[in-house]
Structure 1
């Protein structure tokens, strides 16, 4: 539930803010800047209410600040629009970096297993002992990392080529589609007979 609320805050709320302001006659740049309120509010909420910082929100906030700097340098609202693309590229690159240790898809899967009330000790044992088990999670992490970088490149191109008012809706839909596609692809891969036998 918390993950769903977070996703709605990060994806849907900025969209509502942008198009709500545009329909009220607010200019492109002020409307785009107003969308930055969402990650700022999330970081503030984490600090005040929960007395901790959400690393994802901080990362998004950092990308917002980078996009603001690019906007101040270029004077173009498209620098603000490209923010999501750079964010996605950074996520993809970070996923690829984890290939040299414990792949992020393995770490996330293990975390979900532990949260569901099951012991993750078996996964730790198989990670240490089974090359096939390690390969499954490295393949999935590689696929996620490369796909995110490819999607990011497309989003940045769209940010600089499509009409400004079209970009927020199209890129948000693309982000949701990318996550759904990657999740479905991952589940299909894990259900292949040879792979299912490895992961148990």
Structure 2
């Protein structure tokens, strides 16, 4: 968050205070998130796909700004990123691994609900478990597209210096709102309670949310 969000905005306003132009300030500050991609490339000898996308979006926006003569194309980079993110979420919603599940699994598996049950097993036998993550993924996707629309309006209508700051605030506000919506839905669906019907309906799971022992052959 510090490198990808706070630092670029702070650097932009520092450059503007030094009378650097809009386009130059936006381009330089937009390069900061790319440092993570470079670090991954040097340390692990592989490209970070998210970082590569962010830098590519910045370069495309910068090129359009130079050709069109307007720094607002650079401001639209944030909207472009959210459109791609929203489309990515929605595209995976009906697939074997919805994106919300992939992002949440390292944080939640083994810590909430039926803690001793593999999510792979739950996914295989529980339609309700699959529905929870498909719905959660759709919520994130629709939310990202709505966020992109707001970003587009801000980038095209508000003063540039104000739009840059609002763009950063919007990332935080969007994340909080969607997280609240998704967590309320997941709690009501029983994801966090080991004795909810979501787990009790799964063969091999006891009322305590633990996997029943395998029968000995």
Q: TM-score, normalized by length of structure 1?
A: 0.88
**1:34 aligns to what?**
28
**Kept after mapping to 1: 8 A contact 2:89/2:141:** yes
- Residue of 151, 154, 167 corresponding to 1:155: 151
1:109: Cα distance to partner? Answer: 1.8
**1:72 aligns to what?**
66
Instruction: Find the aligned partners of 1:94 and 1:29 in 2 and give their Cα distance.
Output: 29
Instruction: Find the aligned partners of 1:85 and 1:63 in 2 and give their Cα distance.
Output: 10
**2:203 aligns to what?**
none
**1:175 aligns to what?**
171
Distance 1:120 1:194, change over 3 A: closer
Instruction: Find the aligned partners of 1:154 and 1:120 in 2 and give their Cα distance.
Output: 42
Instruction: Find the aligned partners of 1:139 and 1:115 in 2 and give their Cα distance.
Output: 21
1:115: Cα distance to partner? Answer: 9.3
Kindly provide the CA deviation profile for residues 131-154 of structure 1, in whole angstroms up to 9, marking residues without a partner as x. Answer: 111111111100110010011011
Distance 1:122 1:172, change over 3 A: same
Instruction: Find the aligned partners of 2:116 and 2:157 in 1 and give their Cα distance.
Output: 46
**1:91 aligns to what?**
85
Instruction: Find the aligned partners of 1:193 and 1:42 in 2 and give their Cα distance.
Output: 37
Alignment length, in residue pairs? 193
Instruction: Find the aligned partners of 2:92 and 2:116 in 1 and give their Cα distance.
Output: 19
| Deviating more after overlay: 133-142 vs 47-56 | 47-56
1:39: Cα distance to partner? Answer: 2.8
Q: TM-score, normalized by length of structure 2?
A: 0.81
Instruction: Find the aligned partners of 1:155 and 1:66 in 2 and give their Cα distance.
Output: 17
Instruction: Find the aligned partners of 2:109 and 2:133 in 1 and give their Cα distance.
Output: 17
**Kept after mapping to 1: 8 A contact 2:37/2:51:** yes
Instruction: Find the aligned partners of 2:64 and 2:53 in 1 and give their Cα distance.
Output: 17
Kindly provide the CA deviation profile for residues 64-118 of structure 1, in whole angstroms up to 9, marking residues without a partner as x. Answer: 12212221332210000110111011101100000121210111222334697x9
**Kept after mapping to 2: 8 A contact 1:39/1:58:** no
Instruction: Find the aligned partners of 2:18 and 2:125 in 1 and give their Cα distance.
Output: 60
Instruction: Find the aligned partners of 1:125 and 1:172 in 2 and give their Cα distance.
Output: 39
| Deviating more after overlay: 84-93 vs 41-50 | 41-50
Matched, 1:55 2:49: yes
